[in-house]
Amino acid sequence: MNFIDLEAQLNIKLEGDKTLRNIIDLNISRVLNHTKFICGPEVNQLENDLAHFIDVKNCVAVSSGTDALLISLMALDINQGDEVITTPFSFISTVEVLLLLKAKPVFVDIDPKTFNIDPKKIEEKINENTKAIIPVSLYGQTADLKAINLIAEKYKIPVIEDAAQSFGAMHHNKFSCSQTTIATTSFFPSKPLGCYGDGGAIFTNNDSLADRVRRISKHGQTKRYIHSEIGINGRLDTIQAAILTPKLKLFEKEIFLRNEIAKRYENKFDKLGYSNSFYPFIENFNKSVFAQYTIRVKNRFKVQEFLKSKGIPTAIHYPCLLNEQEILSDSNTEKIKKNSENLIFAKEASKEVLSLPFSPYLKEIDQDLIVEKVHEANLMFNF
């Protein structure tokens, strides 16, 4: 059993008799024929398709989810000493890009039900140095963007949604990536919409911000060899765009399947007497894409070992909080550390979360085994 089954998708029929794999092969061949490996027509096509899918005015395809965050912060002029409010419970990228720009992360605890930043605890951290808020939409469910936007509007600070795990999710009936000043996603292979290498995208309804993002992602170039500002080499490869375009066609169906598979997990766990403090809790105004299907257990390492011995792979997202990472441990960051007290729910979550195998194509027979063994582990290790 795979933790995420990336192979099953390739065999899905997409157009008549043609599988996704057939179409990707054809698309890659087309790129090899026209040889526009950088900024080829497929990139533009993908940007249009993504913007249309999400219903946002502008999409800029970039080299990764991490670069998408970095470019967005640069486009918003986040500089040395600026404070940026975010969650301690995320992948390293969220804080790494802040440290690259010498900005200061200010961590706010999570809501223990959703694992996302708790909007009620944001306002007390805002001061005159606060220059942005980065909510992360973890495990495929958006943070409470509506509540966060209200606070941001009051203080006139931009919101960057880190939607690396939530592309395709909905919040109050609108897509993730469409509801904040700017939003970033990742097409890392195991994300809900993945390419076959590194890739990402940036979304915004603000045209001048989009222009800036586009420029920064291409060496700050205004015309060929004319550079008006510092940028990075942050473009998406043409081949990755040629892979993503057909995968996007399949994606709506996959969002449906992801929710079906999650429902199936939930029904099975319900029958055994578990509740949504154990399996994922989804707010009634949200629709998740289940980038991960994450449960909470005590004695996690014993549970994980037991499941492994039964052939069931699991993962931990994430065992260490961002404020505990060594990159924050030098003397300059003492203040950040002080600011990181009271991250109680995040700390608890980092000790208890365990992600189970999940993909739109997870077989019911495998799912039955997973649920059975998780339950057995509970009887043994009492979580």
Q: Is 136 in the site for ligand PLP (CB under 6 A)?
A: yes
Q: Which is nearer to ligand PLP, 23 or 109 (CB)?
A: 109
Q: Is 188 in the site for ligand PLP (CB under 6 A)?
A: yes
* Residue 200 CB contacts under 8 Å (≥ 6 apart), including other chains: 61, 62, 63, 64, 65, 66, 67, 68, 164, 184, 185, 186, 187, 236
Give backbone dihedrals phi and psi of 226, rounded to 5 degrees, phi first.
-115, 120
Burial pattern 260-289, b for ≥16 Cβ within 10 A else e, equals ebbeebbebbeeeebeeebbbbbbeebbbb
Q: Is residue 112 a contact partner of residue 344, using CB atoms and an 8 Å limit?
A: no
Instruction: Write down the number of H helices and E strands in the chain.
Output: 12, 16
Structure tokens that stand for 212 in this block? 């800036």
Name residues contacting ligand PLP, limited to 333-372 (CB under 6 A): none
Q: Is 165 in the site for ligand PLP (CB under 6 A)?
A: yes
Question: Of these, 162, 237, 254, 352, which contacts ligand PLP (CB under 6 A)?
Answer: 162
| Residue 36: strand, helix, or coil | coil
| Host H or E run for residue 171 | strand 170-171
Least Å distance, CB 271 to ligand PLP, is 31
Q: How far apart are CA 339 and CA 170, in angstroms?
A: 32
Least Å distance, CB 28 to ligand PLP, is 20
The site string for ligand PLP over 289-318 (x = CB under 6 A, - otherwise) reads ------------------------------
Q: Is 254 in the site for ligand PLP (CB under 6 A)?
A: no
Q: Is 91 in the site for ligand PLP (CB under 6 A)?
A: yes
Q: Is 58 in the site for ligand PLP (CB under 6 A)?
A: no
Q: Is 65 in the site for ligand PLP (CB under 6 A)?
A: yes
Question: Of these, 86, 114, 180, 186, which contacts ligand PLP (CB under 6 A)?
Answer: 186
Contact residues for ligand PLP, defined by CB under 6 A: 64-66, 90-91, 93-94, 136, 162, 164-165, 186, 188, 198, 200
